[in-house]
Structure 1
Amino acid sequence: MKVSIITATFNSKSTIESCIQSVVKQTYQSIEYIIIDGNSSDTTLDIVKQYQLNYPHVTFKIISEPDNGIYEALNKGIAKATGAIIGFVHSDDVLASKTILSEIAYAFQNKDMDGLFGDLQYVSQSNANQVIRYWKSQSFQPKLLKEGWMPAHPTLFLKREIYEKYGNFDTSYKIAADYDFMLRILKEETLKFTYMPQVITNMRVGGMSNRSIKNIFQKTKEDYRAVTSNKVGGLLSVLRKNTSKIKQFIYK
């Protein structure tokens, strides 16, 4: 079972190496690694191409061209993916262990499911071993959507046909297209999702959605649009979604 991993990059020289290492050093062998670069002007591509040479057992697909943001880049990656399973490792993130893709592939092979998600750790920008927040997820129940619950998107792995049937990221969203997409599929009663109770991804703090007050306001507006357009909640759902993150600073 081939697993396609997609990474979107743009001038990511400070973090891309640790990101790539977490993918190419997996114990799982059938990996297709798709890197969509937004025409970086730094040494990001040089680093990527060096790893392509050093790890020939991993199938690299590299595209570097201007784009209109991360969601367009991720959509390009999905279009290029040929694996049975698709997951994302953003350029600031790392997979939590060398065996995690083997464990994910095993779960897909042995369980009747369309998608899998797990826990996520937010770590310091300067020290990836320093945990800032712990996103502890839980088994999925449809009623949770109205309560503002969502899995951590970087931990979500899906069968490729889910994207073929339900579409990609809506690029009219600038910050919350991942939330909109997850609501789109999670509300479908015919789909089956499994919770893996362990850390799948370590994410460096400082993401776009929380980078400024303006971005937080923009994300709140987009979250409200997502829950209402998908008919899974309203303003109370968005408020619960935001306040539920407080416990992530306590549980470590």
Structure 2
Amino acid sequence: MKISLITATYNSEKYLRDTFDSVLRQDYHDIEYIVVDGLSTDSTIDIIKEYELLFNGKMKWVSESDQGLYDALNKGFKMASGDVVGILNSDDFFTSPNVLSRIIENFINSDCDAVYADIHFVDPDDVKKAVRYYSSSIFRRPLMRIGFIPAHPTFYVYKHFFEKYGYYKTDYKIAADFELLLRFIYVNKIKTKYIPLDCVTMRMGGMSTESMDSRKIIMKEHLRAFKENGIRTNRFILSLRYPYKIGELIKARIKNKNK
């Protein structure tokens, strides 16, 4: 079973080698790695060309103007020829070498349409310092009503569902991933399976992990996503998820102190 992995880049030179190295270390080899660059002006393209040789024909890449992250990911999914597709952000990396093999194993041994797992967030300059652990184990479809979704970077799905239900909506600034998962899982009820595995190490500082302004945009776009998908909700209902997020931060701090 072939897996297509998509990474979108734009001036990503600082951490891109970590991302690429983690893909090269994977013990599952039937992969297609697609890198979609948005006309980077730093050394990103040089790094891509350097690693293209190391991937021995398994990397495809393009560098052209785009409308942002979600447009770039859509391009990657449309380029993909694999049975299963997923993403790896350009400043993140796989936590262990068996991530992709575990993902494919679960597709082969079950009738699921998609899988998801866990992630943890780290200090951008000290990847050994955990800031937050996000376990998707709590996820159940009804919890989407209060804004819970599986960890998006661990979401792998059969490609044909993008062709059937559509791609990311590029007019969302931050929460197009939330809207897509809501559309796939809650509205169209694809079969999902949880894998108890820490799949991805994410550096804090991405679009959806930082400022108060970002949180305001996220709330606004979450409300919009529910409305566009015909699901009733409100700000109070969506705020019910925040105590759980605070608990994740506390657990990470306790874990760091005990090291």
Give the TM-score normalised by structure 2: 0.92
Partner of 1:28: 28
Change in Cα spacing, 1:142 to 1:95, as seen in structure 2 (3 Å) is same
Tell me the CA shift for residue 29 of structure 1.
Answer: 0.7
Shift in Å, 1:236: 2.6
1:251 is matched with which residue?
251
Residue by residue over 1:162-182, the C-alpha shift from the partner in whole angstroms, topping out at 9 and shown as x without a partner, is: 111110000111110000000
Tell me by how many angstroms 1:123 deviates: 0.8
Change (3 A) 1:19 1:172: same
CA distance in 2, matches of 1:67, 1:189: 29
Q: Which secondary structure state, in structure 2, belongs to the residue aligned with residue 68 of structure 1?
A: coil
For residues 212 and 240 of structure 2, the distance between their equivalents in structure 1, rounded to whole angstroms, comes to: 19
Give deviations 1:110-140, integer Å, cap 9, x for gaps.
1100000011100110011211000011264
8 Å CA contact retained: 1:145, 1:233: no
What is the one-letter code of the residue matched to 1:34?
I
Alignment pair present for 1:152 and 2:151: yes
Is structure 2 residue 236 aligned with structure 1 residue 236?
yes
The 5 Å alignment of 1:94-109 reads: 94-109=93-108
Instruction: Tell me the equivalent position of 2:185.
Output: 186
Structure 2 equivalent of residue 212 of structure 1: 211
Q: Could you tell which deviates more after superposition, 87-96 or 185-194?
A: 185-194
Aligned to 1:50: 50
**1:49–1:195 distance in 2 versus 1, CA, 3 Å:** same
Q: Normalising by structure 1, report the TM-score.
A: 0.95
3-state SS in 2 of match to 1:208:
coil
Q: Distance in 2 between matches of 1:129 and 1:198?
A: 18
Contact 2:133–2:248 (8 Å) recurs in 1: yes
Q: Which residue of 1 aligns with 2:110?
A: 111
Cα RMSD, aligned residues only? 1.5
Determine helix, strand or coil for the equivalent of 2:136. Answer: coil
Matches within 5 A, 1:197-208: 197-208=196-207
Partner residue, 1:2: 2
1:75 and 2:74 aligned: yes
Question: What fraction of aligned residue pairs are identical, expressed as a percent?
Answer: 38
Aligned residues: 251
2:255 alignment partner in structure 1: none
Instruction: After the TM superposition, list the runs of 4 or more consecutive aligned residues in structure 1 that deviate by more than 4 angstroms.
Output: none
Give the drift of 1:251. Answer: 3.0
Q: Which piece of structure 1 moves more, 78-87 or 214-223?
A: 214-223
Structure 2 contact 118–151 (Cα < 8 Å) conserved: yes
Alpha-carbon distance in 1 for matches of 2:213, 2:29 = 43
In the aligned structure 2, how far is the partner of 1:224 from the partner of 1:30?
39
Q: Which runs of 5+ in 1 are unaligned?
A: none
SS in 1 for 2:208: helix
Separation in 1, partners of 2:235, 2:206: 23
Distance 1:208 1:246, change over 3 A: same
Q: List runs of 5+ in structure 2 lacking aligned partners.
A: 253-259
- Paired residues of 1:145 and 1:232 also in contact (CA < 8 A): no
Q: Residues 251 and 150 (structure 1 numbering): CA distance in 2 closer, same or farther, change over 3 Å?
A: same
Aligned-partner Cα distance in 2 for 1:92–1:232? 35
